[in-house]
Every structure is written in C-alpha cells, then in structure tokens.
Structure 1
C-alpha cells in the first residue's frame, strides 16, 4: 500500500493543476447529475415489526387514521370564552387545505378560553407535500391571528417542520477552525488548505447524497449529520497530510518527494482511519430503522469523498503552495528556538509516571461517565423544543388547558367482529388511575373497527409512559392494538435500546480486526476499543447531566430538563467510535514507526506522542469547534448530537490520546506489539513500515 500511495502523492504533486481541474470537474459533474437526476429527501418513519405499527396499518387500511395530523390551538389572551363563529370559520379554512381528510369538532377547555382543532390528513406525514411544510396551515390561521387570538400549531406535521437549520454555528465553527490551523501551522496558506480540501470533498459528497435520494428514501436530517462528520474528518485528514508534508520539506526533500512521502506515510493513516469510520457507519444498518440506513450511507458517502480529496488534492495544493506552507520564520531562515518542545516535555512526563497518569485519567473518565447509569431516552416531542417555537407554545397551551396527557393520547384499535371487546377495553382503561380521560368509542365508516382514545395523566415524555403502554398491552385483550404517536415513539425507543448492543458488538469487533491488521498486535486494538468506549460513555454521561438533569443547560439554550433523544446513543456511538479510531491511528502509526526502527518501547511512545501531540490537539480542537457550532442550533436533537460529539472528541483528544494511551503503552512495553506467530502468518501483509526517513518533532511546525 505504501508504494501505491507514494506514487499517488508524487503524481498528484507533479501535475497539480490537472488534479485541481479534475476536482472542479468532479464537483461540477456531480452537481449537474444531482440537479438532473437527484430526488428530494424524504423520510420513511414506518417501523415494520413494531407493535404500534400494526395499529397504524389497520387505521390506514380502513381510511380513518394512521396518517399525518396537526393540532391548531386557539387561545384568548384575556381568558374569555372563544366565539363559536370564529372557530367555525377557522374550521372551514382548514378543511379546504390540500390533502386534508377531516377536521374534528373543536375541543374547548373548562374555561372555554382555549380550543384545539385536530386536522386529519389523507397522506402520511412523510408525504413530500406535507413533510416540514406548515405554510398552508399558517395561511389558514392568519385571519384568526389578525382577529387578536393566539394561534399555535402542534401535532406530528408541525413537529416535522422543527426549527430552521440556520448554519450560523457551522460558519463560526469553520472560522474558528481556520484560526486554529493558522496557530498550529504558522502559515495562512497552510491553514486554508485543509478547509478548502474538506469543502471540495463535501461539495461532491452533498451532490452524491442527492443522487442517493433518487434510489432510496433519505432522511431530511441526513445531510446535517453527513456535513457535520465529513467537515470534521476532512479537515483532520488534510491537516495530517499537510503536517507530514511540511516535515518532509524541512528535512530537505523537494516538493515532489515531500508529497510522495507524506501520502505514503500519513496517507496510510488516512486510509485506515477512513475505513474505521466507514465500518462504524455501516453498523447503523443493524439498528433496524430505515432512517439510520440513510444516515449511515449518506455520511459514508461524504466521508469517502473528503478522504479522496485529502489523498489527491492535498499533494496537488501543497505543490502549488510550495514553501509558503512553511512558517514565516523557517522561510526566512530565522533560527528556531532550541528549547525542547512542550509536547516532548509532556510526553516524557506522562511516561515517567505512567501508572499515576493512567489512574488519574481513568478516574476522570469514569466520574464523567457515571451519570449514564441514569440515562433515559425518548425520541423527542414538542416539550423539548425552544420556548419560542410554535410547537412548544401549542404543547404548553394544551397542557395548561386540558392536562399534560392531552399532548400524548393513546389509541386502542379493536375489530368490531370481537363482540364485547371494545366495552372490555373501556372498562379496563377506566379502572386505571393513570388514565385521565376516555373519549366515546368511534366506529369506522365500514364498521370494521372500534377506536378508543384515552389520555394519560402525564405527558408523553414522562418516564412512566413506556411502563403504562407495556401494562396496557399486557392487560387488554390480544385483539386490541395500542397505537398512536406516543406508543409508536415508545416502541422506537425500546427497539433502539435493544439494538444498541448489536451495533456496539459489530462496530467494535470489526474495528478491532482492522487495527489488528494494521498494527500486527493483539493488545493495541483491544486497548483502543476499551478506551474509545470510555470516552463515548463519558460523553453520554455529560449529555445526561446537561439535558436530563439540567446542569448548566441554560448555557446552550435549553430551558427545562428532558430525556436524551432515543436517536442519540446509536448514532453517536457509530460516529464517535470511528472518529476516535482516527486519533488512535494517527498516534499509533508514529509510535509503531519509531518502534520498528529502535525497538525501544517506552522511547517510541515518548517520541511518537511528541511528534503527533500537536496535530492531534489541533485536529481535536477543530472538530470540537465544528461540533459546538452545530450544538448552537435551535433544534434539540441537533443540539444534543453536536454537544455529545464535541465532548467525546475533546475527551478523546486530551485525556485518552494525550494521557491514557501513552501511559498504558509505557506500562505494557514490548507487550504492546505482541502477536502469536500463527496469527502473524495468517494476517495479510498490511504491516505499517518504518519511515523512509527520520521523522522530526513538530516543534517547528507552529513557529
């Protein structure tokens, strides 16, 4: 592999403008293809096999439900009774909207100051005309608002509109990443290069996502996740290559040779790091939800493009940049300070007392991970949205006027052929003190189904909700299906909790095999897997403390405690495990290269950490600011994803890579690289070879 990568890097550097032109052509071509043959993004929220899905399918078969709905909540700000005429006119406007099947009679609160009109659509919420589109509803309620009433929108259709993705945080993250690169590389030209490469790869990957949408349903959230991950890893991969190229220049190699050597050495790390990310993302398919399938495939596509851009565009742009990539002091032949660099002093300190440092970092990670024992998940509802969102206002108005359970009604579907079952269901629900209200039984127009709607005494995200749903399914007759959005969310949450362990087993297992193949070691990949699990668990613990316990939540715009989104554990694990392996590969590659030259286990750890500490710290800082940019978005799911990933990367790039890894490797000594002879013979020849030339410290990179 090294020889192939060497030829690739040297060839790209030898013909830089051809490579740049090829990427411009690639981006333009994929954009044209996406415009011509791509398809709009579309969510598929059906979950075959879920208990609530059976009830939804029954309602759809008989044309009475299971499709999109919306709640229009009208409130008189003075607390006086709402006039029936105003509500009748609003009902008429709502019934005239496209795809609307029916609008039920207004439900009034006890003081008649709040009314809820339920709009039932004849299409699923994922229909392209409906998903995320509340403008028709806004137009219908405009006259009522002009009349002086407060009107808010809730229900599953308005929930899909969510909070607009502003992108401001992402731009701020890129700007801060550029600043970090300038500090790390000491060159404005070198700093701009990784960001340009990442954006080029992301542009091609974004068009690829649109083309994928023409062949399968792609979640509307998939581009956000893909851009978050691809932007971070793209900058990191390019940074690693640029740093190695600059090192080679300072060793006296010409630009072509420097580029070839950089891609042959650091490029190998990029290839294996990208492979671990792709393997982790493919593990999302084991979650059993089509939404995760699209997350995994689209993010993998974007990562593949940015990795390809790093391996080809970096050597080309390095050739164009020439010696401008070097710090100004080096270009002007100013003497570099002879003092031992901070990274070398830090590495030596950790390796002098490895047991103490290992225990300190391990203890810190375990303390941060402790709150994960109290982790509670829920897919999310309007109660977790910002206070200024119309869906949150509708939720609060309904809670105040009708009780919190009115925001999460339960629907029980019973075949009318089952004589007396509907009455039995009503009696059972009425005897349960967790049920606050039961609506009269409704029969479908074809008289095939009886529908009973019940409201719990607590809201849908309450921790008692899953237990209530499980109890009802156990108590009610077998022919009764408990369904609706609240049971549907509960089913999803339980399914994801069960599938999490399958995803973990797959991702960890395959990643360990890849690391074992790359480093010809048994202990190194096992130790890496354990440490990655530690940093990810610590990130989960921080999410619990911030969102579920409410610690310092107001600092990121969260005004009330809430469960962690059910989408987070699996999604974050798959992404973070791959990203953590990136840093592991970056660090271990240099340690392994030094060990193969010197056979000095502790010295190779010191020198390997010293030479990579700056690039790992810089890469980690870049990812942290990029992810924190996403954490500044209003949507709570994006906020949780961004914060969790930022925390995990910060811990991984500091406590794990800078402390725990070198400390444990110093303790293990030669055992780090032990592999049974029989296993060594079975492994393909993907051995990390020693450097073709001595690798200097990164002391001069930032000076």
Structure 2
C-alpha cells in the first residue's frame, strides 16, 4: 500500500490544481445535494423489547392522541390568577395546529398563578420538524404573551430543538491555529492542516444531512461528528505535514517529500482512521437507533477527513512549496530539529527505572478512575439545561407549582381485553398507596373502551435517584397482567438499563477488533495488547473525572450548569467508542516510529526512546489541538456534548502525558524484545503490511535497509 500512496502523494504534489479542483467540485456537489435533498435531524429512541416500548405501542394502537410527542405550555401570571377565558382561547388555537390530536384541559395550580396546557400530538417527535413546530406553539399562544403572562415551553418537542452552534467550533479552530503557529513558526504551515480538515469536514457534514433524508439522525450527531472530525482532521494533516517538513529538511524536493510523507505518515493515517471507524461501528451493537446514527454520522466525517488528508493535503503541499518551513530555515538552509533531545533523555530515564515509574503512573490513573465506581447515569433532561432556556424555565415553573414529580409523570397503559374494566379502581388505589407516588389521575378510557391509561405523578423529579426503584416497584408489585408503565421517565429507566447491559459487549467487540488490526499491522502480540490496556486505563480515568466534575459538582458551575447532574447515560457508550479510536491514533503513530527504529537498529530500549523523541513534539502539538477543540465544545449548551467535550479533553491530555511519557516507555522497557514477539505459525500466516513505508524507493544516497531483527 505504501507504494500506491507514494505515487498518489507525488502525483498530487506535481499536479496540485487537478486535485484541488476535484475537491472544490466535491465539496460543492455534496453541499448542493444536501441543500436540495437533505433531511432534518430527529431523535429515535425506540427501545425494542422494553416495558415502556410495549406500553407505547399499546397507546399508539388504542390511544393515538396519547401515543405521539407532547409539548407543555406553562403560563405564569406576575400577580393574581391566570384568566380562564384566555386559557380557553389559547387551547382552541393549539388544537388547530397540524398533527395535534388533543389538548388537555388547562390545569391550574393551587394558587391559580400558574396554568399548564399539555399538547398531545398524534405522531412521534421523529415525524415533526421541531423548530417549525415550536414556532407554531409560540404563534398559537401569542395572545397569552401579549396579555402580559410569562409563557414557557417544555415537553418532548421543545426539548428536541437543538441550540444554534458555531461558537464551540470557532473557539476550537482559533485555538488550533494558535498552537500550529507556535509549533511550526510559519503561517502557511499552520493554515494547511486547518484548510484540509475543514474541507473534509464540509463533505462529511453534508453527508450527514444526506443521511438524514433516509434515516433518523440524532439531533446531537452533527455536533459530535464535527467535534471528532475537527480534532482528528487537524491531527491527521499535522502528522503528514511534519513528515513532509522532515523530508524537505533532508534535501528532498517538494513532490518527492510529499510522496514519501503520504507513503509513511499517510499510511499511518489510514490505519488510525480505520481504527476510529472500527470503534464507531461498535455502536451498532447497542441496537438503539439514536446511537447507531451517531456512529454512522461521525464515521462519515472521519472518513472524509482521512480522504482529504491523503489526497488534498499533498496537493496543497505542492502549491505551498518550501513555504511550509520557517523563513529563517528557508534562508539558511538549516533543518528544523526532527526530534526532541529532552524527550529522548526522559524516555531513557524512565527506561532505566521502569518499575517505579510504571507503578506511579498506574496509581495516579487508578486514583483518577476511582470516582467512576460510584457513577450514576441518567439521560439529560430539561432540569440540566441553562436557566435562560425556555424548557428549563418551564421545568422550574412546573416543579414550583405542581411538585417536582409533575415534570416526569408515569403513564400506566392497561389492556382491558386482558385485565377487565372492573380492575381499574383497585389498580388506581394500589398505585396511589405505592411509596413515592404523589397522586394518580382518574382512568381515561379509549374510544372502544378496550384500553385505559392512568397518569401517575411521583413525589420527586425525573433526575432523582429514587425514580428507578419506584418504576421497578410499580412493575413488580402493582401492575396486573396486560398493564405496563411508560412515559419519558420510564423510558429513561429502560434506556439507562439497556445501555449499561450493552456497554460490555461493545467494549469487548471494539477492543478485540482493534487488537486484531494492530497485530496485523505491527506483527506483534504484546505491543497491541499493551496499547489496548493503556487506552482502557485512560478511558476509565476520564470516566472518573467526569463523575467528580458533574455528579459530585466539582466543576458544574464553572461549566455553566446550575447544579450537579448525573453523568448522561449516552456518555458511556459514545465516549468509549470515540475515545478508544482517537487514543489509538496516537498509539499507531507512536508504534509506527518505534517499530521503524526497531527494524533499523534492533535496539529494544533505544527504539522506544528514539520513537518518542521523533514523535514527541508532533504528538504533543496534536494532543494540545485535540484538548483545545474538545474543551471548546465543553461550552456547548447541550449536556451530552458538554460532558463529551470534558471527557475527551481529559482522556487525550492523560493519554499524551501520563500514558505516552510514563506508562508506555516503562512497560516497553520491561518487555524489551518481547514487544515484537509473534508466534512463528502466526508470522507465516500474516501478510507483510509494512506500515513504515518500506516499499518507498530509497534515496540515492541511502544505504541498504537494515534487516529485520530476529524476534524473541
């Protein structure tokens, strides 16, 4: 593959405008197709096989007006009581909106200052364009706002509206540009990775919009994809550009240097990108549509950034010529230092005393991971939104007027063909007597009188840790055959449980496939095994920091949250899939250079220090860029993206420091030649991939390639 990549990179550098025009046409074509035929973002939380899904299907069949999405209109008077006639008029306007099946009668609070109008749609939230639907709600209740009442909106439809983005992305781009400028000392060299990453990002995000036309794509998927795509896209271009600068410093001309950079670092980019895609494919095992589309969407962007790095980047390198070097280096002909003597000395120091450093690093990482043992996961809801958001204000008004449990009512759906109408009074009494239940509304019968639904209001809010035991008690001790409980709170209980159960199969599949790929690429058993264990350790530490920051509240206010919140249920799966792939990027680049040194010299300990010295600056710059990008997304108003940004930033920072500078050199020093051990029978079976560019023609003044050392 390296020879093919060499030819591709050299051809792009020799004929740059052809490749640039192709990419411009590609960005325009995909963007135009997305604008003309792209779809809108919709969350699909279908939970096959759960009790809440069974109850939802019963409501959809017998109570169409109750089976779809809902929205809440909360009306608050500054003083006095809300006028019933004004509420009646607004109710009539709401009932006339498209897809509205029913609007419950206004529910006044005890003091009359607050009133609640619940709008029930006949279609699920995935069939609604949430932005225009929320605008229609505002229009229908405009008379209430004009009368001086405070009008806020809650429920599924308003909570499904995504906040406008752009600030987090811009912050990440600016931070990345500053880091690149400091690292390269050249405006041209600093700008090229950004240009290439943004080109891949443009194609990938347009691809997500096209995907949304044929599938339900989660509302947070584009933001997650941009966060990951921006980070890896800049990093991939950075690794290739660094190799190209080394070639120019060695006296190669621009096309030859670009070809060699693509053949070596470009091949590592392909393997690293493929590792990220493998990790994202693990989300398919969750069998939850919203997670599957998040994986597909992020995968589209990652694939586009890899393509731009190996095809567009060598073209712009050909256009830039030697301007990617500092001006003083171009004038003097001096070569920028390819390695860091300080990192080499540090790696040798750790290698001489591996056990103390290995134990110290493990203790630190395990200490950071310890809070994760008490992690409580729960999907984010309106109670975690900023206080300026209308859904948060509606949430607070409802809790103040009707009690915290009114924000998460349970819907008990009863199939009367199995239970019989005579069981309803006793069922209501048992529900009302259940510990944790504040009230139970009278049963509501279907038109055919073959089903009933009871609205149960808990004593505590949706995020309260007592909610899950309450739902379990209702299901186990109260409900007769033919009855089930649903509603957003019950669905969240089922979702959290499903995610916890399916986390380990996803972890096992992702780790196993990544391990096999690294064995295939590096022809070793212990080095890939060590890489997988180190990545798992950094992920565990990131989980622990997330628990301390968000659940314990150590950094909640600093991040714009009003109080401590549970870790989002989405985080465990999403963060593992993304982070395992991203962490493997650094491992692939580091192991590639270490193995190059090993094949060249056969010195097990020296190859580690040499590989770290050569990759030290570039990986540090790449990690700083990743951390800056991810921390920029920590300012996103969405809790899932905020927690993802913090978690990924922490994990990458730990991976680039404690793991790469302490644990990796210590572990590889202890393993010695065993790092590259491979059983003889497996050695004969595996093809020789050579991720180090051995198929690239050697320079005329280069000596013969050193034979591969015998394996221990």
TM range (shorter): over 0.9
- Residue 611 in structure 1 maps to residue 648 in structure 2: no
Alignment deviations for residues 397-431 of structure 1 (CA, whole Å, 9 cap, x no partner): 11111111111111111122322332332122122
Displacement of 1:564 in angstroms is 1.0
Secondary structure at 2:457 match in 1: strand
Q: Distance in 2 between matches of 1:540 and 1:221?
A: 20
Q: 1:64 to 1:143 in 2, by over 3 A?
A: closer
User: Which of 520, 527, 532 does residue 530 from structure 2 map onto?
Assistant: 527
Q: Distance in 1 between matches of 2:7 and 2:333?
A: 33
Alignment deviations for residues 131-169 of structure 1 (CA, whole Å, 9 cap, x no partner): 67311111222222232222211111111125x133112
Match of 1:198 in 2: 197
Q: Distance in 1 between matches of 2:73 and 2:682?
A: 66
- 1:524-673 matches, within 5 Å, as 524-673=527-676
- Greater shift, 400-409 or 58-67, is seen at 58-67
Q: Distance in 2 between matches of 1:206 and 1:287?
A: 23
Q: 1:210 to 1:627 in 2, by over 3 A?
A: same
Q: Distance in 1 between matches of 2:549 and 2:147?
A: 41
- Residue 257 in structure 1 maps to residue 259 in structure 2: no
Q: Distance in 1 between matches of 2:510 and 2:179?
A: 31
Secondary structure at 2:438 match in 1: strand
Q: Distance in 2 between matches of 1:689 and 1:618?
A: 22
Secondary structure at 2:636 match in 1: coil
Q: 1:634 to 1:35 in 2, by over 3 A?
A: closer
Alignment deviations for residues 610-666 of structure 1 (CA, whole Å, 9 cap, x no partner): 000111111111111111111111121211111111111111111112221122111
Match of 2:287 in 1: 288
Length, aligned pairs only: 693
- 1:39-438 matches, within 5 Å, as 39-62=39-62, 63-78=64-79, 80-130=80-130, 133-162=133-162, 164-333=163-332, 341-417=341-417, 418-419=419-420, 420-438=422-440
Match of 1:27 in 2: 27
- Greater shift, 592-601 or 120-129, is seen at 120-129
Displacement of 1:437 in angstroms is 0.5
Match of 1:497 in 2: 500
Secondary structure at 2:115 match in 1: strand
Native 8 Å contact 1:241 1:262 kept in 2: yes
Secondary structure at 1:459 match in 2: coil
Displacement of 1:125 in angstroms is 1.3
Secondary structure at 2:127 match in 1: coil
Match of 1:701 in 2: none
Match of 1:468 in 2: 470
Displacement of 1:441 in angstroms is 1.2
Q: 1:335 to 1:210 in 2, by over 3 A?
A: closer
Secondary structure at 2:141 match in 1: helix
* Gapped regions of structure 1 (runs ≥ 5): 696-703
Native 8 Å contact 1:593 1:688 kept in 2: no
Q: Distance in 2 between matches of 1:314 and 1:599?
A: 33
Instruction: Please report the RMSD computed on the Cα atoms of aligned residues, expressed in angstroms.
Output: 1.9
Secondary structure at 1:70 match in 2: strand
Alignment deviations for residues 189-239 of structure 1 (CA, whole Å, 9 cap, x no partner): 111001100111111112222222233222232211111111111111110
Match of 2:708 in 1: none
Alignment deviations for residues 570-610 of structure 1 (CA, whole Å, 9 cap, x no partner): 01110100000000001010000000110101111111000
Match of 1:699 in 2: none
Native 8 Å contact 1:165 1:633 kept in 2: no
Q: Distance in 2 between matches of 1:335 and 1:223?
A: 44
Native 8 Å contact 2:39 2:210 kept in 1: yes
Secondary structure at 1:378 match in 2: coil
- Greater shift, 202-211 or 583-592, is seen at 202-211
Q: Distance in 1 between matches of 2:114 and 2:308?
A: 57
Native 8 Å contact 1:125 1:131 kept in 2: no
* Gapped regions of structure 2 (runs ≥ 5): 704-712
Native 8 Å contact 1:197 1:314 kept in 2: yes
